[in-house]
Structure 1
Amino acid sequence: MRKIIAIPLGDVAGIGPEIVVKSLNDREIYDTCKPLVIGHSIPLQKAMKVSGVALEINRIDNPEEGLYRHGTVDLIELDCPGIENIEFGKIQKEAGLFAYSFIERSVELALHNKVSALATTPINKEALKAAGIPYIGHTEMLADLCGVSNPLTMFQVKNLRVFFFTRHLSLLEAIKSIKEKELYEHITMDIKALQSLGIEKPKLAVAALNPHAGEHGLFGREEMEEIEPAVKKAQEQGLNVVGPVPADSVFYKALQGEYDAVLSLYHDQGHIATKMVDFERTISLTLGLPFLRTSVDHGTAFDIAGKGIATSTSMEEAIRLAAAYASVYKYDLLSSG
C-alpha cells in the first residue's frame, strides 16, 4: 500500500525543481510511495533541461487521478502568473508567493486526507519576506495553517534521531532558557513524538550542556539545578529517560542503538552531531501536525541553481522517510494531554 506523498516545489528560483526531477528519476522512489508534485510545469521543464532528465508531466486535478509510475511526474498545477519570468539564483517576491501557494495547497490536501505526508523542498526567507508572507520558515507556516501552537522538530540520519530544546537562539539565550519545568515538558513531548512514529517504548537521552555534564558543578551548575531535576521528574512519571549524558558521547551511543533519540539543548549541538554522520542524508521531520512532514536540511542554494549540479540525495531521503513513517504516524498521541 504505497502512500501518496505531496512534494511542494518550493522556491523555483532555487534548486528545488532540480532535486525533485532528479529524485523522481529514481525508480526506487516509486517502489516506496506515490510522489505527487504540487507546483507548476514550467520550473519542472526548466529543471529537466538543465539536469538532463526526461520525464513526462501528467497534470491532474486530484491525487487519486495520478499514474504514480516511473517516467511520469504527477503534478497538481497551480495558477502562477508570470512564473516563466522567474530567474535562477535571485530573490524574487513572486517566487516567494508561489512557494507559499504550493505549501498552502499541499497542507489543504493533507488536512483532507488526500495525501499522507509532505516532503518539502527549500524555500527562501528573504523571498517570503519580499512577498509579504509573515513566516520565517516552513515550521511556523505549517503550524499556523494547521492551527497547531508548538510543533516539534526532529532530525534523523541513519539510526540517530535528535530533538531540539532550543533552535534559533543565541547560545547565551539558549542557556538562559534551560529551566526544569520547560525541559520536563519537552521530554514528555519527545517521548510522545517517538511513540507517534511507532516506537512503543522509547528510550530518550538528554544531552548535557557543559563539559563532562558539569562535573558536579565544577564546569557549570545547569546540570545540577535544572537538567537533572527535569530528568528525575520524568523518570518518576514512568518515562524511560536518562541524562544528562555528556554531549561528546551521547550522540554516538544513540547512533549505535543505545537510545532511540537524544534531546539536544541548543541548535548547533544537534546539528553538528547529525551532519557529521552524513550531511546529505540528515532529514528534518516536523511532528505534532495532523500529518507528517519531512524536509531536506539545506537551503535554496541560489549559487548553483540552474546549473544542473545539485545533488538530490537529501530530497530522496526525505521522500523515503516520509513514506516509511506515513503508515505508522499517530497524530492523536501528540495532540492529546
Structure 2
Amino acid sequence: MDQHIVEATPAAAEAAKLEAFVGKAVSDLAAGYAGVMVALGHKLGLYRALLGAGPLTSEEVARRSGCAERYVREWLNAQAAAGYLDYHAVSASYELGEAQAMVLAREDSPVFLPPAWEVPASMWFDEARTLEAFRTGGGVAWGEHDARLFCGVAAFYRNGYRASLVAEWLPALAGVVEKLSEGGQVADIGCGHGHSTIFMAQAFPKARFRGFDGHPASIEAARANAAAAGVADRVTFEVARADAYPSGPYDLICFFDCLHDMGRPVEAARHAARTLAPDGTVMLVEPFANDRVEDNLNVVGQLYYAASATLCCAHAISEQGSHVLGAQAGERRLAKVFQEGGFGRFRRAHQTPFNLIFEARI
C-alpha cells in the first residue's frame, strides 16, 4: 500500500502541474478575448455610458450608448465575468467601480488602457510579416506595421508621460527644470505623435522644442497635435534619423522609449553628444528591465519581451546596424551604449513599474 502511494505521487504531482498550467493558458486566452471586449467598449462608448452612473441594466446601458440591447447584454456579461464590471444579481444590473473607471473610462487617467489593445491587434494583423522575419532573420521597419500600432503606442504612453514627465522625471535631472524655465532648446528624438514634446512645451513656455522621428505619418500626427494643443508657435516636428537630426546646441535631448528600437544606438548617442550644449543633459526613458533575464520573468517582462520580439527587435534588425537591444535591454547595456557614445556620466535618476529614467552627461 505504501509502495503504491509513493509510486503514484509523482504522477499525481505532474497531473496537478498540468492542470494548473492549462488553467494559466486558458486565463491568458480569456485575457485576449477581454482585450477585444475592452476595445469594443471604448469605441462604442459603453464605458462612458456606465461612468459615474451607478448600477445600470442592460437596457439602460444600451439606451445611453445608442447600441442594440442584446449585444450590450452579452458584452456586459463578458465584462462582469472578467471582473471589469460588478454585477448585482438582485437587480440584474452592472456597475463600473472607480478603480475600473480609472483604467477603462477616465481618458485623462495615468492608467487609462483601452487604446493599448491596439498594439496586440496590430501584432495579429502583421503576423505574416513576423513569421517571415522569424524564418529569414530579416527585419520589419516601424512604418511597415499596421497603423493601429502607432496610435496604440502613442496612446499607451501619453497618459503616463502626462502624469510623470513634468512632475517627476524632469525634476530628477540636475538643473534641467531651472534651465527650461528660463528658456533653452530641447530635442525630442523618436518623438512619435509628439505627446512628450507637447507636454514639455506646455510646462515651459519660454523654451523651444524640436521633435524628430523617422516615420513621416507620425510627424504629421505630431504637427496636428501641437496645433490642437496651441503650442505650434514654439514646437516644430521634422522627419529625421536619430543620428542625423539638425544641430542645436540643445540643453536637453530626450529619448522616450525608442533607443532600444534603433539598430545604431551608439551612433545616436554619439550624435547627441555632438549636438548638446556644453552643460547639456540627455534624458533616456526606457522600458523597465533588470540586467538578467531571470529577474525579468514577470508580467511586465512578459509584456515587453513579446513586444520586443515582434516590434522592437524587428525594427532594429531592419536598420542593419550594430545592435539589437530589445525592450528589456537593462541599465548595464544602456550605460555601455552611452559610454561608447562619448558620455562620461550615466545614472538612474528615477523609475516606475514600467520605465527607467536615466540622466547622461558628457
Normalization by structure 1: what TM-score? 0.26
Higher helix share: 2
Greater C-alpha radius of gyration: 2
Normalization by structure 2: what TM-score? 0.25
